[in-house]
Every structure is written in C-alpha cells, then in structure tokens.
Amino acid sequence: MRDITKLRNQVGIWVRISRHLEETRELAELGDEDLAEELAIEVAALEAEIGELEFRTLFSGQYDDEDALLSIHAGAGGTEAQDWAEMLLRMYTRWAESHGFKVDILDKSSGDEAGLKSVMLSVRGDYVYGRLRSERGVHRLVRISPYDASKRRHTSFAKLELWPDIADEIEIEIDDKDLRIDRFRASGAGGQHVQKNETAVRITHKPSGVVVSCQNQRSLTQNMQTAMSILKAQLFELERQKQEAEISALKGKVVDAGWGNQIRSYVLHPYKMVKDMRTSYETGNPQAVLDGRLDPFMEAYLRHTVGEGEG
C-alpha cells in the first residue's frame, strides 16, 4: 500500500503539471495583453514545478524516497559545541517545516550549561532521506563565542547521523537475550523530571554496542516500540555498511566530530560564509542557511554524487 501511494503521488505530479501546462498554453493563445501579467505568473509557476521535477531525477539511492531518522551529537568544543548542536536542530526543523515535512523529537539530552548533548529526530515527508543524505557528517562552526567574556573566536563541531526509516519494511531478528533494557523517567530542560513514572526507555544491543533511547511518547509501551524501530534501522544500516565495505563503497563511515573531518563550515567571524567541503558550493549568507535554506547545498551534493556515479 505504501508503494502504491508513492506511485500514485508521482503520477499525480505529472498529471497536474500536464494540466497546468495545457491551461497556460491556452491562456497564451488568447493573445490578450491584459492577461500578460497573469501569464507571466503562470509561466513562473510552471518553471518552479519543472525545476522540482528535475531535482527529483537526482534521487538515485535505494531509500531516497523514505522517511528519515536523524541524530545530532555535540562534538569537540564543550558548551560551545552543545549550543551549536541546538542551532543545528533549529536549522533542520526550520528546513523541514518550510517543506511541510513532519518532525518529531524522539530523544533529547540537554547540555550541562546550554544547548544539547544529542538529539534524535524523526522526519517524515517527500524524499526526506534522499534530501538529507547530503547532511550526514561533521559540521563546523566558527564564531565569536557568546559564552566567552573576552569575546574570543571559537570553533565548534557537531556530528549528524542519518538512517532511512524503514523498520516496517525490513526483517531483522533480534534475540531478547542480546538486549539490555533500562527504564527511567523522562526529563525536561535542565534535568527536571516531567513525569513521575518510568516511561522513558534505553535499549542496548550488546553484540553491536548500539544504544538507542526514546522518551517522547506518553507510555512505556509506546517508547519501547519506537526505540525498537530505531534499533532495527541502525542495525540495518550497520549491515548495509558491511556489505558496501566488501565492495569498497562504504558510505556514512564513522568519524570523530572534530578537526579535519568536517563536511561543511559555517563561518560567522571574521567573515560570513558557509562552504561545503565536498562540492565547494558556498554562500555569503549564513543566517539564511541557519534559518533552514539548505536546498542549494542538497542539490549541489546530489549533482556531485551523480557525477561521481554514487547512489
């Protein structure tokens, strides 16, 4: 049913554009100068729709049309990095909302003084995983620290991990004896408990060392189900990476969130620029990027990977 829905949506896009094109052609054939402004608006709308279709042709990965699980981890830089992780959470939330995608925070660990140590998101929408593939890796921020009384320049790092949300589509057998399950009370900002009952859950898969947790649902059962879905997605990704390693095409390799590993630099001082280190795409308007204007970077990455023959 999910495949049928996706195909129906894809066909619907072409039918809608075809109808829009025919209506615009008929408007142009009227030759009425009073309709020139309306015609220009319709042509611009068509160009935008066709541009979106062209963008979709860049999605060549097996899971590009799936939803995504996204996690952000503060790296080297202490409180600065934790604040940077929270800035990235805001950036991706803004980006998702601008496209009408649905975002749910599944798990969040607040920073000691400010910001976030880590956060796990579920993002659901059209080709979400394919769009976010460009964001997996280490992000570097250079700015004057708001936490430094001397107003010195600081460099902070945060790492973004990504998995396709395909737990319902994959079959992975997980032996109960391989799991350690810890229950605890969900906490709010500053470590304050928001519930008296132990509804949050943390699952450790002992053979792989993968640890997942969830505390956004109201019941222990719901949090357990969500955590198991996350665990299945991560175990699936581990197996996929092993298979790709066998053919020397490992993607999403584990790197430290620190110097020399960044995929993108966000510089707010002494000049303003955001630059992707893989594609060399850059912009002099970092505020727009931090407000969620990420599509140009995503498109540049997809064109770059298609050029290299990657999926």
Q: pLDDT (tens digit, 9 = 90+) per residue, 11-49?
A: 888 888 889 899 888 888 888 888 888 888 989 888 888
Mean pLDDT calculated for residue range 172-188: 84
Distance between CA atoms of residues 310 and 8, nearest Å = 27
Distance between CA atoms of residues 118 and 138, nearest Å = 14
For residue 109, what are the CA distances in angstroms to 24, 71, 82, 83, 235? 52, 11, 10, 12, 22
Q: What is the pLDDT of residue 191?
A: 43
For residue 18, what are the CA distances in angstroms to 24, 26, 29? 10, 12, 17
pTM greater than 0.75? no
Q: What is the pLDDT of residue 155?
A: 93
pLDDT at 118 over 60: yes
**What pLDDT digit, counting tens, does each position of 99-115 carry?**
999 999 999 999 988 99
Tokens representing 39 are 């015609």
Q: What is the pLDDT of residue 251?
A: 37
Residues ≥6 apart with Cβ < 8 Å to 187: 110, 193, 194, 200, 215
Distance between CA atoms of residues 203 and 231, nearest Å = 8
